[in-house]
A and B are shown apart, each in its own frame.
Chain A
Amino acid sequence: MTEIAPKPVLTSREKVAATLRRRYRAEMRFRAYGLSAVLIGILFVVLLFWTIIHKGYTAFEQTYVQLEVSYAAEDLDPGGQRAVADLQAANYQLPVRAALRAAFPAVEGRSELKKLYGLVSGSAEQTLRDRVLAKPTLIGQHEAVWVLADDRIDMLAKGQIDRRLPESDRAVDDAELRMFDTLKAGRHVEIRFNSGFFTSGDSREPEQAGVLGALIGTFLTLFVTLVISFPIGVAAAVYLEEFARRNRLTDLIEVNINNLAAVPSIVFGLLGLAMFIQFFGMPRSAPLVGGLVLSLMTLPTIIIASRSALKAVPPSIREAALGMGASKVQMVTHHVLPLAMPGMLTGAIIGMARALGESAPLLMIGMVAFIVDVPKGLTDPSTVLPVQIFLWATSPERAFVERTSGAIIVLLAFLLLMNALAVILRSRFERRW
């Protein structure tokens, strides 16, 4: 470093000074590595969120088309009784198609008419039926009704279909494009908040598909998981930590619990299939079975977290309680458990968050089925959010891409909510000593 005098005689202090610069540089480098690692991590998180939100936010909007519908009595209720059964069974396709033909009188020919009828979603008939059933006096009258647009028109309205592409590469051909532009020019097209995304179950038609079924399924499944795995996990941890003697048996149990935590989740799915469905004859695709399977998966996590929470309770508290003449159970329930509870809850919520994102074991027990109805109980067939995402991601329709991202956003929101709950519970129960 210093190339001055031929043989400089350095004092200790100078030698230390000479090493100082090198040490500081090493420290700076080390800090820079750490900082860049953190920044790279943040970058990827931002990228992930940006992609998902950018792709998914449009799922929360939906294109509607306005139709001038005339509820012709001779089409809908030729008998004139206005009986509910008749109104229910009536063919509402007729007024929808009539309205579309009225809007575009120039369209003729079978294929052109098919394109015209394809502008609106198949759910338009259902919309009209609901309106008529709610208010039978509508029959024989006219009204302007907003109905769901078809998913391709929805994509077009949201600007996700590139108009400059050649017609053969475009999901919407020139004729449909012209019809859409005409509707739009007449202010018959509107983009609104997509409440249906949160109030309906799955559907083959993207514009009608919602996450409610999966959301309720997730809720029920996690409920079963929590109710089963938390008490069992805590009880097992308390027993192993506070009551069991250390011997070969408890060592063996401990090793096995740690190993179970590392078992691939799909194996638990197979176990659930063999045990709960084949052996106990429980229903397929049910949140009950899903919850049981996820409990098996979450149990080791909860037990391990609970044990470390119990270990963190200072032994002096145990001695104090025992010294007062508390029995062992009193010591545990009065003193140790309340102090360990925040750690146990955190462990449980981490386990639940893992269970929330799990799809593989649920595929094995049939929760991957296409289920339109929103589940009403623990034994109703249902699916869960991650599986719903998987199902939509594999669907070919362009509109399912945004639905997939939308469902991911819902899942992430659910996850953040759970983590927030963990933080709140922790700070509420945490006690210092």
Chain B
Amino acid sequence: MSTSIATPSDARRVAPSRGSVSVSGAADESLPGETLDTKTVGQVSVADPVMGARVVNVHYGSKHAIHDVSIDIGRHAVIAFIGPSGCGKSTFLRCLNRMNDTIEGAKVSGLITLDGQDIYEKRQDVVQLRARVGMVFQKPNPFPKSIYENIAYGPRIHGLAATRADLDEVVQTSLQKAGLWEEVKDRLDHPGTGLSGGQQQRLCIARAIAVDPEVILMDEPCSALDPIATAKIEDLIDELRQNYAIVIVTHNMQQAARVSQRTAYFHLGDLIEVGPTDQIFTNPRHKLTEDYITGRFG
């Protein structure tokens, strides 16, 4: 590891303990471009974040996967997590809607807030959390049901549509927002698994936005798609930014540069640098970031 970052023990000593720092307060103090009390270089905080993470650590059994990560997720913006394989970016992403709960032996510590509320608090209902923080996975995973049922599932289990007409409308608007309506409106009863890969992924995005979340987490949403389908998804992400906060994990640096406003670089479980995407790609402040984006490793 580079010598230019503070040692983990330093970071831990000065790190705000859980609950002692309010996210909004920290953001106010540290604006702009000021680091919070972490080793991370760059602009960790943003004004009025929708989600905030402070000193988050993740252990898988004895493996320490994420070390002291602090970062804010801004509203109506796309933030990209980049970094070499195994750097913990997907793991951290999955902390944001507690999908790590499903993995046995995974332990998350630290503070993660959604609109100022601790999402790991006992009272926080994980079902409600996931309705507010939606997720799109690496491999398109539509349910083996009809296109309609795929979209209608979320609103149905959360009781968002009272009548069949409401549900029809939710399905239509979700598919429209995902740019899939024109392609599938005549075959809503066909199986979702019969669509092409790119369509399936857009179906999954439509499914995620059908429950009207605040944040959408995307875990390498284009890695299984061809360039044309990828371009469509990227356009879609750009449009969705109007209404949602989007966190996208990607291996593709050009993609991060194209779709995101902020970029976070992860390395071996550490959050090395966060900043505006332009700055990260043109003028990285940290040696590791520079090495990675210039292709020296990764």
Contact = CB atoms under 8 A, between A and B. Distances in A.
Contact of B130 (A246, A317, A324, A433): A324
A100 interface: no
A11 B142 CA distance: 56
A372 interface: no
Interface in A406-433: 431-433
A340 to B, nearest CB: 12
B226 interface: no
Interface string A219-246: 0000000000000000000000000011
A325 B157 CA distance: 8
Nearest to B97: A323
A327 B127 contact: yes
Interface stretch (B36-44, B48-56, B133-141, B228-236): B133-141
Interface in A308-328: 314, 316-327
A323 B193 contact: no
A246 B104 CA distance: 8
B144 A323 contact: no
Interface stretch (B203-211, B252-260, B267-275): B203-211
A325 B127 contact: yes
B128 interface: yes
Contact of A325 (B131, B144, B193): B131
Interface in B145-182: 153-154, 157-158
A323 B102 CA distance: 11
A433 B140 CA distance: 11
B104 A324 contact: no
Contacts, number: 65
A246 B102 CA distance: 13
A316 B207 CA distance: 15
A433 B142 CA distance: 8
A293 interface: no
A314 B137 CA distance: 13
Contacts of B130: 322-325
Nearest to B138: A316
A323 B137 contact: yes
A334 B145 CA distance: 11
A319 B127 contact: no
Contacts of B6: none
B143 interface: yes
A431 B194 CA distance: 12
Nearest to A318: B102
A334 B154 CA distance: 12
Contact of A319 (B128, B141, B153, B158): B141
Interface in A286-340: 314, 316-327, 330, 334-335, 339
B204 A320 contact: yes
Contacts of A335: 143
A326 B157 contact: yes
B31 interface: no
A324 B99 contact: no
A242 to B, nearest CB: 10
B117 to A, nearest CB: 16
Contact of B141 (A245, A317, A325, A334): A317
A314 B46 CA distance: 38
A245 B101 CA distance: 12
A245 B105 CA distance: 10
B143 A325 contact: no
Given A316-B139, A320-B204, A325 B99 contact: no
B244 to A, nearest CB: 15
Contact of B99 (A314, A323, A326): A323
A318 B102 CA distance: 10
A325 B215 CA distance: 13
B192 to A, nearest CB: 9
10 contacts: A317-B144, A319-B102, A323-B130, A323-B208, A324-B157, A324-B208, A325-B157, A334-B153, A432-B144, A433-B193
Interface of B: 97, 99, 102, 104, 127-131, 134-135, 137, 139, 141-144, 153-154, 157-158, 193, 204, 207-208, 211
Given A319-B137, A325-B129, A339-B144, 14 more contacts: A246-B104, A316-B137, A316-B139, A317-B141, A317-B143, A319-B102, A322-B99, A323-B99, A324-B130, A324-B131, A325-B131, A335-B143, A432-B144, A432-B193
Interface of A: 245-246, 314, 316-327, 330, 334-335, 339, 431-433
Identify the 10 closest CB pairs spanning chains A and B, nearest first: A325-B130, A316-B141, A323-B135, A325-B131, A433-B144, A320-B141, A324-B154, A431-B144, A325-B127, A433-B193
